[in-house]
Structure 1
Amino acid sequence: RGTRSRKRNVFCHPMQPCSVESVRVGAIIEEALEKLSFLASITPDIVAHRDELSQTVGDEITRILAQQRTLESRYEELVGQRLALKAMSNKRYKENQDEVRTVARALRESTNELCRNLKGNPNIAENLSKVQVERSGLHALLARTLRELHDGSFASLTSAVEEEAARTSNIAEIMEREKEAAFAVGQLKADLAAERRGHDEDVEKRDEEIARLKEQLSEAKASTSVEVRYLAQTVRASCQTLRRLSSAETANLEEEIATLRKELEIEERAHRESEDFLRRKQSALQQDVEAWMGRYETELEELDRELEGLKASWRQSRS
């Protein structure tokens, strides 16, 4: 093997393959061109069935939508019955609640299935067209390479490789930015959910505190009323003193309730402002993602036009 390598280095130029290597490479490229031509010859059969495939996918999505409409109608019917069943037996009301949960779960599963179908079944005709365009481009590139192999020049192949490498690098960069933007959107959603949970917990604590204070107020009023009735029979002065004390305690409790309500309103306003900010931030990031996608499509079209211009220039130079 070492002897053959040394002989090859002696008789061959570094940028030009030997005649034996040229024959081998040419045979491989010709075989690849024959296979691509064979694939191109059977492509019409695939294209002829694309409408049938699209129809199959459309029928499945139509079935899921019809199922969703049925479940939604049943859910509305059960919710309407629930109000009437509250005044009846607990058994029928419980059965209604169980069926509502079952229908809601089935509706969620149907929605998830619809999302999976829409995501997993893109435009079949468009995909077939893209495959055909890519195959034609590869066929043309291999044909040019074969001609340049016979001529001993690889300018077109080198240019195509460099352009494809630049295009791949640009696409990878755009995809990385899109990934970062999607991660940021997900993080904002998580922050929004955490903020909402914190707000719900705060509201629940405030409600419990208000209920406790109301209970204390009720107990204080009841206790005061009993004491007033008891002491009214003995000394009017003592009764008036107790009433003043009761009124003061009631005023303090009501003032505390009013303070808590004001704090609750402040918390709710702060939560709404935080939620609006996070929602605007999410919308801005979503617009950035769409802008990057538009830029990606624009740059891809410009690269395609540049490639077509290079091809045209090359054909003119050849002619």
Structure 2
Amino acid sequence: MSSPLSDVKILRVSAVLQACADQLAVLGNIIPNTSTGKTVMEDDVGLVMESQRAAEHHPKAHEAMQELHISHRELNRTLVESPLFHENMAKVQRDRQFVAEVIKDILAELQEKGTFHSLLKAAEEEKKRRAHLQEIIAREEEGRLRTKALQKQLVDIRKEKTVELQSREELTAHLKDQLQEIKVKTSLEKKYVKSSTDLLVYQGEKLNTQKEKELEEEIRLLQEQLEEEKRVHTEMKSFLKEHQTRLGEKLEYWMERYEKDMEDKQQELNTLNINKANNVTMLQNLARKYRACEQVIIEDRLEKENLCKQLAKEQMERDAATKIQSWWRGTLVRKCLGPYKKGKKAKSKGSKKGKGKGKKK
């Protein structure tokens, strides 16, 4: 929280802000619908210079005014370069009204409280709005990329189903050709049987003119043979009709199976899409867990390395301290310093004892 400004600074800042508000009002009246944007840029530069001079007396106010002017300047540059000029000019008017309202609030706050919190609040709201717009743009880009991937996958599936449909159509055409061949064969057999029967009848009639009595028995036999041929013909005809019916049933069966296979493949495709989405989610969760475990392992490894270094350092320090203490004790012993220092009396007693021992020997 900033402290209130002095009366002199309040008057100065209020005068500058009032001048800015007047310039914005004039700017709103002079901007035409067919303007090229030059007047907007010039007035914007004048507004920025006046606001900077007014905000020099306080650092936070200066920073907030800079944020507002940078945003306003970027917006004007975008409007000048955009082909949608009329929409841009309408947006300029809205931004001008926003800045005018902000200045109005600042003037009211300066006159009542001597502070400029409304300016900082407006700058913070503008930052949040720009961050929200950037987040929306990022989400739209991600959705666009995912849509492209799904479209590509759909094209591949359509190609695969087209190839399968062509193979089914070729099989149907082959079955139709077989049916046509069977029909032709049946027709030829009928013609053959008929021609054979006519020939036999003709021979019988010719023989009957010569040997009517002798060939009555033969005629009867021939009639029996004719009846047998007719029966065979009837059976063959019924067999061919039955075979044709079976082929028709097979054709209907294959058509139903084709439709059923298409439905099953569509269900499999839907299941695969669902499984793919679940696998993507599972992979993302595993990736997050892996990153967390990897971070824990790295931290544990660093902690162990630091502990080993610390232990090695402490061991070296203990070894160095032991060596120093040994050297110092040796120095004290050799030079008879500290607790190892010998007095004069002690030396004399020692010498007498030494002499006494020598005499005893």
Pair in the same fold by TM > 0.5: no
Bigger relative contact order, structure 1 or 2 (CA pairs below 8 A, ≥6 apart): 1
TM-score by structure 1 length?
0.39
Structure possessing the higher radius of gyration over alpha carbons: 2
TM-score by structure 2 length?
0.35
